[in-house]
Amino acid sequence: MWLIAVAVPLLPTIILLSSRYRVKVATLCRQAVAWALKLVRGKVCVRRTHAFVFSQCTHGKVDSILETFDLYAKTHPSLCIGPEIGEALDEVVRRVSPSRVLELGMHCGYTSVRLLRLLPPAGRLITVELDPLTAELGEEIILVAGFKHSQFQVLTSSSAEAISTLHLNIEPNSQTSEGFSLVLMDHDPQQYLPDLLALEREELLCPSGCSVLLINRSQRAEGLRETLDHIRARADFYFVKTELQFMVEVFYQREITV
Ligand SMILES: *[C@@H]1O[C@H](CO)[C@@H](O)[C@H](O)[C@H]1NC(C)=O
Q: What is the pLDDT of residues 49-89, one digit of tens each?
A: 999 999 999 999 999 999 999 999 988 888 888 899 999 99
> Is the residue at 148 inside a domain?
yes
pLDDT of residue 43: 45
Interval between CA 220 and ligand 1 midpoint (Å): 9
Question: Between 131 and 78, where is the model more confident?
Answer: 131
Q: Establish if 66 belongs to a structural domain.
A: no
| Digit-coded pLDDT (tens) for 103-119 | 999 999 999 999 999 99
Closest-CA residue, ligand 1 atom 10, reads 245
The answer as to whether 51 is a domain residue is: no
Is a pLDDT exceeding 60 seen at residue 258? no
Q: Is residue 117 part of a domain?
A: yes
Is 248 touching ligand 1 by the criterion CB < 6 Å?
yes
Asked if 227 contacts 196 with a C-beta cutoff of 8 angstroms, the reply is: yes
Q: Give distance in angstroms: CA of 249 to centre of ligand 1.
A: 13
- Mean of pLDDT values over 235-258: 90
Instruction: Report the CATH number that the domain containing residue 238 is assigned in CATH.
Output: 3.40.50.150
SS3 state at 113: helix
Q: How many domains does the chain have?
A: 1
152 forms bridges with which residues in the sheet?
125
- Of 22, 13, 76, the residue nearest 49 (C-alpha): 76
Degrees (nearest 5) of the Cα angle 85, 89, 92? 145
Q: What is the mean pLDDT of the chain?
A: 85
Q: Report which ligand 1 atom has the smallest distance to the Cα of 243.
A: 14
Q: How many residues does the chain have?
A: 258
pLDDT band at 26; cut points 50, 70, 90 = low
Domain that holds residue 234: 81-171+178-252
| Å from CA of 221 to ligand 1 middle | 6
Instruction: State what percent of residues in the chain have pLDDT above 70.
Output: 78
Whole-number Å distance between alpha carbons of 34 and 21: 20
Strands (E), the chain: 100-104, 124-129, 152-156, 182-185, 210-215, 238-243, 247-252
Nearest CA, atom 12, ligand 1: 245
- 178 pLDDT band (50/70/90 cuts)? confident
Q: Is residue 132 part of a domain?
A: yes
State the distance from the centre of ligand 1 to the C-alpha of 240, rounded, in angstroms. Answer: 15
Please, which pLDDT band fits residue 170 given cuts at 50, 70 and 90? low
Q: Which residues pair with 128 in a beta bridge?
A: 104, 155
Of 29 and 233, the structure prediction assigns the larger pLDDT to 233
* Residue 204 falls inside a structural domain: yes
166 assigned to some structural domain = yes
Which pLDDT belongs to residue 56?
Answer: 95
| Residue 43, in any domain of the structure | no
